[in-house]
Structure 1
Amino acid sequence: MSGFTITDAFGNVASGGGDDPPGAGGGSVKCCYKLKGTEFAVKWNYYDVDQWHKGDKQMLHGEAKVSMPQSRMPDDAGARILEVHFFPDRHVEFQFPGQLLDDARLPIVDVVKWMKQYQTQLDGRYDEREDQQFRRIARVVASAWLKYRMTDRDDLEQYTYFNLLVNSRFDAYPDAQRVLRAAAGQPGTFAKWALSLPGHVRSELANGKFVAVATPAIADGLLPQPRVEEKPHG
């Protein structure tokens, strides 16, 4: 994302953000603006970095309406912080008063860090730079939210591991699909299932030897196209 603006019903405008990769930008602050009311319009610019590097330097634009419940204004001016959260389906949520914390609703950065323990396997499967790998993982986390509204860190870590290092279609496995559909309302359910899988089931998943079931579709345009996988190292 390359910056955003917030406009209230009275024409007041605030701006924020920078050249932020998915999941980043949390804890940063822009000062000082005056916004009024409970109805707002948010506009932002964004681009596909992988396409940009290929010469397709197209800046895209998003817009969303946000309704925020009336809330008490903190007496301390330093506590009057508006948190702005962007989601993969392009809706936006505010939190006021907010905090100066990197409290992402989707823990993309945490999942990227967790996947570092599998760096050798990732390098063996994907021949890509660190920034490309970051975006690959971010795309998987976003797809987990779009399909299953998954936000729990443990669930997202296991989902990403299975997607990138076992089988990108693992969620079409019947039992996986059943658990995933329940995971949004029961944080940790999918992670517990994934960590307790018997060896023969993991083999079926890795080899794709199962009768696939339908998985939730993701609307066109919500995710960038996956990068074409290059030949592994060696």
Structure 2
Amino acid sequence: MATTVVQMTTEQLQALIESVRLAATSSASSAAPATVHSKGSFTNCTTRFGGQRDHDAVEEFITSIVTYKEIESISAEDALKGLSLLFYGMASTWWQGVRKEAKTWADAISLIREHFSPTKPAYQIYLEIFEEKQSDQTAIDTFVCQKRALLAQLPDNRHDEETELDFVYGLLNIKYRKAILRQDIKSFRELLENGRIIEHNNLESEEVHAGPVRGAKNTKRCTHCNFRGHTFEECRKRKSARGNDN
């Protein structure tokens, strides 16, 4: 049987390949289900703000909603529209009065900070930093965290970590400064690690010393009723018997 040979030019071959590719793409598109992209909003966001004038509370609120906006892919326009859902109390009343001033999402964030957490002058922040030293009851993690939060409020990253360490170290309780030499620590991480070791050792030492005292108390025996836990002078049974005799 004779074989028929079909000859095609390069242009004809390319046109044939392109037509086959388009047909395959069209078939795949018609078979695939349509993807529906949901419109992100703050409807399911659980973060709320009531208008407290507290720097930490304000920053926590802003960080939370900014993160939620990014995770849910909420547009800046939709975020601005839905911001009122996150306010209650005084904050809700305040927003009704200033919302026209917020033309963008960035404007809204700035307004929240300006009204509820205005920037403190540097001298006031320094006063708060050095106002209080570490007490015996305050854990080193808590104390360092509080002081670093204040240092972070200083404008323009005013001090490097070495200088900030000098500030905080001088405010530490003497029990830490006795055990940790300033020249031996180069970062807050090292300071905290050493401080936790000191706290653990002090706690263990207190438990060791407290053990025998608690044991001695439990071994007291009353010579009147022969029960443990109190002495002859403390015995209620003896006192009651004496009262009846009178």
* Length-normalised TM-score, structure 2: 0.21
* Length-normalised TM-score, structure 1: 0.22
Q: Which has the higher helix share?
A: 2
In our comparison, the structure showing a higher alpha carbon Rg is 2
Q: Which has the higher contact order (CA 8 A, sep 6+)?
A: 1
Q: Which has the higher strand share?
A: 1
